[in-house]
């Protein structure tokens, strides 16, 4: 009887929680993506004005509920001196969203180096990665094929994991829902990193 009640309690009052890192260089649009996600998936959330978002120094945290799944986002600062802190979060995370500024061709190689260092970390082995080519609403942006070509050296280092490169505009919201829904599917089916149980609040 206890097992039945325990199972019912979990079903009704608990969500499976997955921790998702949002990484990328500074000014790639990570915090804008987080705010847009919270606004779209959390009914009563009144977000900050997207035009007033400034560079993250440290960490922003936010949660999004998709059905019985809760994603807890850790949006980490992307400045070079803060990138050395990223790997402190790898062991606990269930997925990574890597944001690229599609309008900043000059820093694309810098973004690729940061991505390569991240994707080859043993602590992230098997963790799904969503690569967002952000700022696709800007006419002069690089296309998805351009970005895939620039990052082609990294393909062999991705290993056995779910990985998707997707067009996105964090500002307008284009591609945000699809990206979140893809990530939910991936973390739920990745049995190597089981979820954390959290009471619904």
Does the annotation place 140 within a ligand binding site? no
* Distance of alpha carbon 157 from alpha carbon 4, whole angstroms: 45
Please name which of 89, 73, 98 lies closest in space to residue 184, comparing C-alpha atoms. Answer: 73
User: Is 29 marked as a binding-site residue?
Assistant: yes
136 is in an annotated binding site: yes
Answer yes or no: 79 catalytic.
yes
Q: Does the annotation list 135 as a binding residue? A: yes
65 in a labelled binding site: no
Strand partners, 20: 73, 95
31 is in an annotated binding site: yes
Q: How far apart are CA 50 and CA 62, in angstroms?
A: 15
Of the residues 36, 79, 83, 197, only one is catalytic, namely: 79
191 annotated as a binding-site residue: no
Is 68 part of any known ligand binding site?
no
Could you list the residues known to form a binding site for Mg(2+), using ranges.
31, 56
Catalytic residue IDs: 79
Residues tagged in the binding site annotation for GTP: 24-31, 78, 134-137
Annotated binding site: 24-31, 56, 78, 134-137
């Amino acid at each position: 009887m206890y097992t039945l009640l325990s199972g019912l309690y979990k079903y009704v009052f608990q969500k499976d929680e997955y921790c998702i890192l949002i990484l990328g260089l500074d000014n790639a649009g990570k915090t804008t993506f987080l705010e847009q996600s919270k606004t779209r998936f959390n009914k009563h959330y009144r977000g900050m004005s997207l035009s007033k978002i400034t560079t993250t120094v440290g960490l922003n945290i936010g949660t999004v509920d998709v059905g019985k799944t809760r994603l807890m986002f850790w949006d980490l600062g992307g400045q070079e001196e803060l990138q050395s802190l990223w790997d402190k979060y790898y062991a606990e995370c269930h997925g990574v969203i890597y944001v690229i500024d599609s309008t900043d061709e000059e820093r694309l190689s810098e973004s690729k180096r940061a991505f390569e260092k991240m994707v080859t970390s043993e602590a992230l082995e098997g963790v799904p990665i969503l690569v967002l080519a952000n700022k696709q609403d800007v006419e002069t942006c690089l296309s998805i094929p351009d970005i895939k070509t620039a990052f082609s050296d990294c393909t062999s280092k991705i290993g056995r994991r779910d990985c998707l490169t997707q067009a996105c505009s964090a500002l307008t919201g284009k591609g945000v829902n699809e990206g979140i829904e893809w990530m939910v599917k991936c973390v739920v089916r990745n049995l190597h990193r089981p979820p954390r149980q959290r009471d619904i609040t």
